[in-house]
């Protein structure tokens, strides 16, 4: 018998040979073989999925036989039909040998492929300009990942990968018994983008929230209680904590306070609060002479007049003194009435 040696090539990385059993030239009938079996000369191969002729030959290691017929591969398919894999012809029972002389029985397993992950993998951008805390969510512990430009695959330990820099990553199912590593799925982590949010979430005046506030409304008219003389204290709450504020208070009342909000990317928004003080209008003025006197009885005599302004909380109680006929009497800016000649005047 001649021995033909088949050189193993890189195809072998696809196979795991679970064992070779030398059964000392056991004669077996065609009906003794299970479906999905290959026979090459004196070698029997049972496998877990169809294989090409070339791969079977490469997996055979050595084939012993007396003629070229020993190199012909016969295949028993899932229907139990014997096929000549070279001619592709289905063989009838009469075309089969009565027995096969089997010297080696090999079980060959071909690793199955794995698809790309079907999970919703999401790349989350970093939260700062350092660009080093990005992440990928939706992962499982059955997966592995690497930066697209890297050759090193890393095991994934949970439902997300953290501490990632920006770039394109590949995620796939890791190899396992009977399965090759899966097709990778690309996930991109975009660079951090500075926030343009320069809005306020809240404004407080003297500790009380500004009524009717909206982050998109930039100007407010606020009427303060009558008599208010102290400019209110302003507190603000940012929508984005990475923004900054500058409050310029009114210097007097009525007056205007401005709040400038600067976003992380330097976008600016200005909120304006116009303060006024409520005015209480004078409703009555009562004028009386000193001691309730209503006459001056001496030549060029005087009488101090006084005015009672109502209501008592009127915004402006200042008075201006005047008489109806200054040829009869005159009155000073302080309300001192001086007689000029006899007659009657109204103060």
147-201 per-position pLDDT tens digit:
999 999 999 999 999 999 999 999 999 988 778 888 999 999 999 999 999 999 9
Asked if 200 and 163 touch (Cβ cutoff 8 Å), the reply is no
Q: Is 347 a member of any domain?
A: no
Q: Which of 60-64, 75-79, 210-214, 252-256 has the lowest mean pLDDT?
A: 60-64
Beta strands 268-277 and 219-224, pairing class: parallel
Same domain, residue pair 322 and 253: no
Task: Give the DSSP H/E element, type plus range, for residue 56.
Answer: helix 53-59
Same domain, residue pair 79 and 96: yes
The tokens 């499982």 sit on which residue?
140
Distance CA 314, CA 226 (A): 9
Same domain, residue pair 137 and 213: no
How much is the pLDDT for 98?
A: 82
Q: Is 78 a member of any domain?
A: yes
| pLDDT at 255 exceeding the cut of 90 | yes
Same domain, residue pair 159 and 101: no
Altogether, the residues listed in the chain come to a count of 347
Task: Please state, as a whole number, how many other Cβ atoms lie within 10 Å of the Cβ of residue 56.
Answer: 20
How much is the pLDDT for 68?
A: 53
| Number of domains composing the chain | 4
| pLDDT at 86 exceeding the cut of 90 | no
Q: Is 346 a member of any domain?
A: no
Distance CA 275, CA 283 (A): 25
Mean pLDDT of 89-110: 76
Same domain, residue pair 270 and 222: yes
Split at pLDDT 50, 70, 90, the class of 46 is low
| pLDDT at 112 exceeding the cut of 80 | no
Q: Is 345 a member of any domain?
A: no
Same domain, residue pair 31 and 104: yes
**Cβ burial, residue 126 (10 Å; 0-12/13-18/19+):** buried
| pLDDT at 129 exceeding the cut of 70 | yes
| Whole-number percent of the chain with pLDDT over 70 | 80
Mean pLDDT of 222-232: 92
Cβ within 8 Å of residue 185, ≥6 positions away? 116, 117, 121, 170, 171, 172
Q: Which of 110, 142, 169 is the last residue of a domain?
A: 110
Distance CA 204, CA 199 (A): 15
Structure tokens at 209: 């929230």
| pLDDT at 40 exceeding the cut of 70 | no
Q: Which of 277, 297, 331 is the last residue of a domain?
A: 277
**Cβ burial, residue 53 (10 Å; 0-12/13-18/19+):** middle
Q: Which domain holds residue 252?
A: 200-277
CATH number at residue 174: 2.60.40
Same domain, residue pair 9 and 106: yes
Same domain, residue pair 264 and 308: no
Residue, of 226 and 255, whose pLDDT is higher: 255
Distance CA 73, CA 265 (A): 72
Of 13, 17, 79, 73, nearest to 48 by C-alpha is: 17
Q: Is 49 a member of any domain?
A: yes
Question: How big is the CA angle at 81 (ends 75 and 82), to the nearest 5 degrees?
Answer: 40
| pLDDT at 24 exceeding the cut of 50 | no
Of 43, 106, 46, 35, nearest to 72 by C-alpha is: 43
Q: Is 291 a member of any domain?
A: yes
Structure tokens at 120: 């919703």
Same domain, residue pair 55 and 80: yes
Q: Is 6 a member of any domain?
A: yes
Split at pLDDT 50, 70, 90, the class of 52 is low
How much is the pLDDT for 1?
A: 33
Mean pLDDT of 113-125: 87
How much is the pLDDT for 269?
A: 98
Same domain, residue pair 37 and 87: yes
| pLDDT at 11 exceeding the cut of 60 | no
Average pLDDT score, the chain: 82
Q: Which of 254, 277, 300 is the last residue of a domain?
A: 277
Q: Is 194 a member of any domain?
A: no
Long-range contacts of 124-130 (CB under 8 A, 24+ apart): 124/189, 125/166, 125/189, 125/190, 125/191, 125/192, 125/193, 126/164, 126/165, 126/166, 126/189, 126/191, 126/192, 127/192, 128/192, 129/192, 129/194, 130/192
How much is the pLDDT for 23?
A: 39
Same domain, residue pair 36 and 12: yes
Same domain, residue pair 96 and 138: no
Task: Please state, as a whole number, how many other Cβ atoms lie within 10 Å of the Cβ of residue 33.
Answer: 19
Structure tokens at 241: 């904590």
């Amino acid at each position: 018998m001649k021995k033909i040696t088949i050189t193993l090539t890189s195809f072998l990385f696809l196979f795991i040979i679970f064992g070779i059993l030398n059964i000392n030239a056991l004669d077996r009938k065609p009906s003794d073989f299970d479906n999905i079996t290959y026979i090459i000369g004196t070698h029997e191969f049972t496998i877990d999925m169809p294989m090409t002729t070339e791969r079977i030959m490469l997996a055979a290691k050595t084939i012993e036989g007396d003629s070229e017929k020993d190199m012909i591969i016969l295949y028993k398919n899932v229907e139990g039909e014997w096929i000549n894999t070279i001619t592709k012809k289905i063989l009838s029972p009469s075309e089969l040998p009565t027995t096969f002389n089997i010297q080696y029985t090999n079980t060959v397993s071909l690793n199955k492929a794995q698809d790309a992950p079907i999970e919703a993998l999401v790349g989350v951008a970093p939260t700062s300009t350092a660009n080093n805390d990005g992440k990928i969510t939706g992962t499982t512990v059955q997966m592995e990942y690497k930066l697209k430009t890297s050759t090193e695959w890393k095991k994934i330990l949970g439902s997300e990968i953290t501490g990632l820099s920006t770039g394109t990553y590949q995620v796939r199912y890791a190899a396992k018994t009977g399965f090759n590593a899966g097709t990778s799925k690309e996930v991109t982590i975009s660079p951090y983008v500075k926030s343009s949010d320069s809005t306020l979430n809240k404004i407080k005046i003297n500790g009380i929230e500004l009524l009717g506030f909206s982050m998109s409304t930039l100007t407010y008219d606020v009427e303060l209680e009558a008599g208010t003389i102290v400019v209110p204290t302003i507190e603000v709450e940012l929508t984005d904590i990475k923004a900054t504020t500058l409050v310029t208070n009114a210097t007097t009342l009525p007056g205007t306070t401005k709040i400038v909000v600067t976003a992380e990317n330097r976008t600016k928004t200005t909120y304006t609060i116009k303060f006024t003080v409520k005015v209480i209008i004078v409703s009555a003025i009562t004028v009386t002479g000193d001691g309730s006197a209503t006459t001056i009885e001496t030549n060029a005599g005087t009488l101090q007049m006084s005015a009672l302004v109502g209501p008592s909380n009127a915004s402006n109680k200042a008075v201006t003194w005047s008489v109806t006929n200054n040829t009869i009497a005159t009155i000073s800016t302080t309300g001192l009435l001086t007689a000029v000649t006899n007659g009657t005047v109204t103060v």
